[in-house]
């Protein structure tokens, strides 16, 4: 069994990005610049944004954190977005989701300049991806594609079962895996909460990508020997033996499933760091394509 180590692979790729920055930038050319907008005090969101900013520092990107209170209005956030769109010294930015309930997320996403949309959530980027045109790919599916590529996991003609159909992971990874590309070119099944005979379907897969958000959902008896498993879930479960009173687990019953796999991602340390690495790649791309 190969452990698909997102930390190790990310370290390698981030070093590559860091070298690109050194080679390309200097006294005359400023480094790539990513901004992150964080509204409110959601602890998970704070941690994610912190990691993104840290990753920027790691590769020599400039970064800006825009932190605003939970009470920020729709119009105030739109003003921030417009400002970021117009800032010539900024290559890309993200608005960390989820947003407070009183803010219309869709309107914010639509206001982001697609050329700076390094999260790939704007319909224009999403549509380009779905149509197989060059675009910013959403960071999590892009991170998975990079991982499959670097670990040389065979995907061509394989049956890939995607658990979950979210806009952020399930739907885009299903699209990417089905395209005539490498990695990709897989037969893809999109399964979800309404799926019947799920175990039968997952057992017929050579690749399973689990993105349901249900701790330990994928059990040993749902997996055939030799399957490659990508676990996108990050779920908190109570654990009094940990200082914080909880620990993070994936959508896969890792300890029992791992013996049956050809390859598997751990949680944490699998898809998570790859997501941030993909965001760095998108920022690099925005920087290089800037007009």
For the CB of residue 74, give the shortest distance to a second copy in the complex, in Å.
18
| Placement of tokens 């989701």 in the chain | 97
Q: Is there a catalytic annotation at residue 67?
A: no
Q: Is 201 in the site for a second copy (CB under 8 A)?
A: yes
The residue (of 14 and 122) whose beta carbon lies closer to a second copy is 122
Closest among 249, 163, 153 to 206, alpha carbons compared: 153
Sign of CA dihedral 107, 53, 125, 210: negative
For the CB of residue 167, give the shortest distance to a second copy in the complex, in Å.
5
Phi/psi for 35 (5° steps) reads -115, 150
| Placement of tokens 């890309």 in the chain | 92
Q: Is 128 in the site for a second copy (CB under 8 A)?
A: yes
Choose the catalytic residue: 119, 231, 251, 253: 119
CA end-to-end span of the chain: 46
Q: Is there a catalytic annotation at residue 96?
A: yes
The residue (of 189 and 265) whose beta carbon lies closer to a second copy is 189
The residue (of 217 and 254) whose beta carbon lies closer to a second copy is 217
The residue (of 9 and 223) whose beta carbon lies closer to a second copy is 223
Count of chain residues binding a second copy (CB under 8 A): 41
Closest among 206, 144, 200, 134 to 172, alpha carbons compared: 144
Q: Is there a catalytic annotation at residue 52?
A: yes
CB atoms within 10 A of CB 42: 17
Interacting residue with a second copy among 127, 219, 221, 255 (CB under 8 A): 127
Cα 18 vs. chain centroid, distance in angstroms?
20
Residues that bind a second copy (CB under 8 A): 106, 122-133, 135, 156-159, 165, 167, 171, 174-175, 178-180, 185-192, 194-197, 200-201, 204
């Amino acid at each position: 069994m190969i452990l698909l180590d997102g930390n190790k692979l990310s370290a390698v790729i981030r070093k590559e990005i860091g070298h690109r920055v050194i080679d390309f930038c200097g006294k005359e050319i400023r480094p790539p610049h990513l901004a992150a907008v964080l509204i409110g005090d959601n602890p998970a969101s704070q941690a994610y944004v912190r990691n993104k900013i840290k990753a920027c520092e790691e590769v020599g990107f400039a970064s800006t954190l825009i932190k605003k209170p939970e009470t920020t209005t729709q119009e105030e956030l739109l003003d921030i977005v417009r400002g970021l769109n117009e800032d010539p010294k900024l290559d890309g930015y993200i608005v960390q989701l989820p947003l407070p309930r009183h803010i219309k997320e869709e309107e914010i996403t639509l206001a982001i300049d697609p050329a700076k949309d390094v999260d790939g959530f704007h319909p224009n980027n999403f549509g380009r991806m779905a149509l197989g045109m060059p675009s910013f790919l959403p960071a999590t599916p892009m991170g998975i594609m990079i991982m499959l590529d670097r670990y040389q996991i065979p995907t061509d003609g394989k049956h890939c079962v995607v658990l979950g159909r979210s806009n952020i992971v399930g739907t885009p990874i299903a699209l990417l895996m089905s395209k005539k590309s490498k990695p990709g070119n897989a037969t893809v099944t999109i399964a979800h909460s309404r799926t019947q005979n799920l175990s039968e379907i997952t057992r017929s897969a050579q690749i399973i990508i689990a993105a349901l958000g249900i701790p330990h959902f994928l059990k040993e008896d749902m997996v055939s020997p030799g399957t490659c498993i990508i676990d996108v879930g990050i779920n908190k479960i109570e654990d009094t033996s940990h200082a914080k009173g909880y620990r993070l687990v994936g959508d896969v019953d890792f300890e029992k499933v791992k013996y049956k796999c050809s390859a598997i991602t751990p949680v944490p340390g699998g898809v998570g760091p790859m997501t941030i690495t993909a965001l760095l790649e998108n920022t690099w791309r925005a920087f290089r394509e800037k007009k």
